[in-house]
Amino acid sequence: MRKIATLLFVSMLGGAITLGSYKLFVEDDKVQFLAENNANQSSFIPVTNPTKAYNSNVDFTEAAEKTIHAVVHVKNVAVFKKGPRSIWEYYPYSNSDGRALQGAGSGVIITPDGYIVTNNHVIDGASEIEVTLNNNKTYKAELIGSDPISDIALIKVDPDEELEYIPFGDSDHTEIGEWVLAVGNPFNLKSTVTAGIISAKARDLNMRDSSPQSFIQTDAAINPGNSGGALVNTNGELIGINTAISSPSGSYIGYAFAVPSNNARKIVEDIMEYGDVQQGILGIRGTSINTEVIREFNLKTSQGVMVADVTPGSGAEKSGIQQRDIIKKIDNIEINKFADLTGYINSKRPGDEVLVKLIRDGKVREVNVKLTKLDTYRMLALGLEVANASSEELKAYKAPNGVRINRTLTEGLPSADLVGGIISEINGQKVTSVRDVEEIMQSRTRSNPIVIVFYTQKGEKQRMIWK
């Protein structure tokens, strides 16, 4: 009996040792291996539950229902000259002996009495604008005003009833990763809604321009015909006007861009109240901080805008902003690059005050700046915007007098190469201010050529003729 008990004890002890060894050496090794395997896998291809994103509380149907009836189909009947394309085809007064072409885009109703915001390029050159609502009612529209620089236009219909409209949201407080809907009429397909997220903010697509653009970037599908349509948040608020896509094929490949709603609203309000855009300026020229700037100036920060020049008489000069100051915030809006600054200032008017947080000699300072007016004139016949030139600019370009070529109004024009130069004469008349340019351009005969004398940034005097 004792032998049996001893044998049973030894068997039990052996089983316990075997089980313990398995737990210690085999099962623990297996767990460690899986953990290492998961760690190695996640360092290359992070994997999450693919259905997690769709289990959120976001209700796309509510936002779509709020907005789909307030986005319209805009048709533009324009007349263009026959024959080879030329600079003149970009402008509506080159219509003689032409043929009618019809373009289409989208628009957003912003008031119940029929004001509609769209893109300037949707209605540019139109001899007739037609708007079709989601209920198939059609109206003739009147152009109230437009801004080629921001690519925003305001048109108006006279409806026989109050229209559904989309209220403006605050684009400054949108966030990267936030869900959005794009509503429009791509490829003449009415009332199309696509969903995506905000991929980036303050995106600049015009690297040649001294005044960067500031777009909201989204991956919501946007195609030709969506131009002028709505980018809305999940509350059904307008946070952008869909404007452009980046694609070698001309169709959507994952990148689309919208004018922020705060900028669009300000432009629309300016047009309604003043008849044109009231552009306020901080009064600086600056550059985004990058690797080269950090190295050249031995900076301790990697983001912000470094002031390169301060405009005499501007709000920036009066507030004491200096060269090499680094602007970090304006009214609690983070300024990481120049497009952030431009995007925010473009939503303000002359006379508005902003609080600028900057770094100077390693110390943080805050100054209040009153924005001043940018005195410019748009020479539509040449596709140029000009501004008053400072005495320092005239001296640097070796020009006796003139106005600065501020930017181009239409992409792809040969006049783009003139940006930054000084125009000193137009049709034999000297110009010293934008008012001179305005008087000369308004009094000229449109059929006559335009002859300008200008100085390049290298100080070279040149002459150019527009026929």
pTM passes above 0.75: no
The pLDDT assigned to 411 comes to 52
CATH 2.40.50.100 fits 280-373, yes or no: no
Contact 231, 182 (CB under 8 A): yes
- What are the residues whose beta carbons fall under 8 Å from the beta carbon of 195, sequence distance 6 or more? 60, 179, 180, 181, 182, 220
Residue 343 has a CB neighbour count (10 Å cut-off) of 27
* Structure-model confidence comparison of residues 34 and 285, the more confident one: 285
Tens of pLDDT, residues 53-98:
344 577 789 999 999 999 999 999 876 544 433 332 332 333 344 4
Strongest mean pLDDT among 1-15, 143-157, 403-417:
143-157
- Highest mean pLDDT of the ranges 164-173, 377-386, 435-444: 164-173
SS3 of 273, please? Answer: helix
* pLDDT at residue number 82: 46
Closest among 334, 333, 318, 299 to 367, alpha carbons compared: 318
Q: Does domain 376-466 have CATH number 2.30.42.10?
A: yes
d(CA 211, CA 383): 16
**At CA 33, angle to CA 27 and CA 35, rounded to 5?**
105
CB atoms inside a 10 Å sphere around CB 269: 15
pLDDT of 191 above 90: no
Residues 6+ apart with CB under 8 A from 368: 319, 353, 354, 355, 356
Confidence at 106, pLDDT banded by 50, 70, 90: very high
Domains 280-373 and 376-466 share a fold: yes
pLDDT reported for residue 249: 66
Q: Domain residues of the chain, as ranges?
A: 1-47, 57-274, 280-373, 376-466
Q: Which of 120, 161, 162 is nearest to 143 (CA)?
A: 120
Q: Which amino acid is at 193?
A: V
Q: What's the mean pLDDT in 208-229?
A: 82
Position 154, amino acid: L
b/e code 123-145 from CB counts within 10 Å (16+ = b): bbbbeebbbbbbeeeebebeebb
What is d(CA 446, CA 301) in angstroms, rounded to the nearest whole number? 52
Hunting for tokens 């219509």 — which residue is that?
95
Burial class (CB in 10 A: 0-12, 13-18, 19+), 283: buried
How far is 394 from 389, CA to CA, in rounded Å? 7
Contact 231, 242 (CB under 8 A): yes
pLDDT at 79: 62
> Which of these ranges, 126-140, 352-366, 372-386, has the smallest mean pLDDT?
372-386
Residue 277 has what pLDDT?
Answer: 87
Q: What is the pLDDT of residue 263?
A: 95
What is the structure's pLDDT at 37? 33
- CATH architecture entry for 57-274: Beta Barrel (2.40)
Give dist(CA 374, CA 155) in Å, integer: 25
Spatial separation of the C-alpha atoms in residues 453 and 223, rounded to whole Å: 42
Average pLDDT over residues 17-29: 44
In angstroms, rounded to a whole number, what is the distance separating the alpha carbons of residues 364 and 384? Answer: 39
Which of the residues are catalytic? Answer: 121, 151, 227
Asked if residue 73 lies in contact with residue 106, where contact means CB atoms within 8 angstroms, the answer is: yes
Tell which residue, 392, 457, 464, has the closest CA to residue 425.
464
Q: Is the pLDDT of residue 412 over 70?
A: no
* Block residue for tokens 């229902």: 65
Classified as helix, coil or strand, 60 is helix
